[in-house]
Copies of this chain bind each other. A is one copy, B any other.
Amino acid sequence: MGMTLKALSQITGYSMITISRAINYPHLLHKDTREKILAAIKQYEYIPNNVAKALVYQRTNIIHVYVPEDLSPTNQFVMQVTAGLGSYLGENGYSILISKNWYQHQNVDGLIVMGLSLQDEERLHQLAKHKPLVLFGHDDAVACVDVDNVLGMKLATEHAIECGYRQIAFLGIAQDKKFTKDRYDGYRNAMASHGRAINDRHVVFTENNTDSGYRAAKALLKECPEIDCLICSSDDMAVGVMQAAQKMNIDVPNRLGVIGYDGLGTELLVHPQLTTIHQPVYEIGIELAKILLKNIKDAEIGSKTNFYAPVLQPGATTVKR
């Protein structure tokens, strides 16, 4: 397709290796030779073939970002992580290859895996033996970065308590994943350590979307009008809760406090601005990339988990009182 060293060699009369040197070690060549060759390179629009280079160097400068099937690629979460790691990797001369298939492009210098579904576990371990790999999530056998979800929900709950809310309910995600359980644990721990009893009727699990949040909140607030604060396991759900409150003419934040979880930008769009637990996903992306590049450099196959702390991001759906 394109111009090659061989062709250029025939055109200029110099050997292939000399042309190669004009690019990689120009100081080795005689000034005249160098100039002639560089001129020819320009004239014939020669572009080195990175595939051939990769074969020689045994590295591609490509990092594979694997997004499991059960995560939508449109997912805000995934996208922002990808943006973060993409920026770091880009600055360091790497490109990112995104694909849903494990083995389609195994010839990459490393992998970043976005969360783990069960059927992938075996392959993950398999692959981790051969290639530098960092997982967003938690697994004992590989290097990981994870968010401390227990801490996150603890922060949310303590914020609610500090604000002075008395009947703090919890809206969880009905999905069999570790992070959903962790968030619930954070809520329970914080409640317990502040001497608050948990009313079972104040804990509801539902699907993670606005509509489910709306419906769950409507039912919950109708049945338990004593509730004066609702902590949600996601911002999407929290938005639904706010819509329900508006519909039921419940004043947020005075009559009802609302706290979300994620902090990916949605919290700024709604009115009033949503108090939420911000997960620094962009930064986590960078962290994933940093760890990966370090492991590549040291030819190391790590298995440490690095926990990342979410932070409370106060909005206007909670007030001190």
Residues of A bordering B, CB below 8 Å: 1-2, 45, 47, 49-52, 54-55, 58, 60-62, 72-74, 79-80, 82-83, 86-87, 90, 93, 95-101, 103-107, 126, 130, 210, 239, 242-243, 246, 266, 268-271, 282
Contact sample, A vs B, 30 pairs, CB 8 Å cutoff: A1-B58, A2-B130, A47-B103, A49-B55, A51-B54, A51-B107, A52-B55, A61-B104, A61-B105, A62-B97, A62-B105, A72-B83, A73-B82, A73-B86, A73-B87, A74-B79, A74-B80, A74-B282, A79-B83, A90-B99, A95-B98, A96-B99, A97-B97, A97-B98, A98-B98, A210-B268, A266-B269, A269-B269, A269-B270, A271-B271
Contacts of A55 in B (CB 8 A): 49, 51-52, 55
Contacts of A103 in B (CB 8 A): 47
Residue of B nearest to A129 (CB): B45
Quick one: copies of this chain in the complex?
A: 2
Nearest 6 pairs between A and B by C-beta?
Answer: A95-B99, A73-B83, A50-B107, A74-B83, A51-B54, A51-B107
Complexed CA–CA distance, A61 and B54 (Å): 15
Interface-central residue, A58, A93, A104, by most chain B CB under 10 Å: A104
How near does chain B come to A68, taking the closest CB pair, in angstroms? 13
Contacts of A282 in B (CB 8 A): 74
Complexed CA–CA distance, A72 and B266 (Å): 17
Complexed CA–CA distance, A51 and B105 (Å): 9
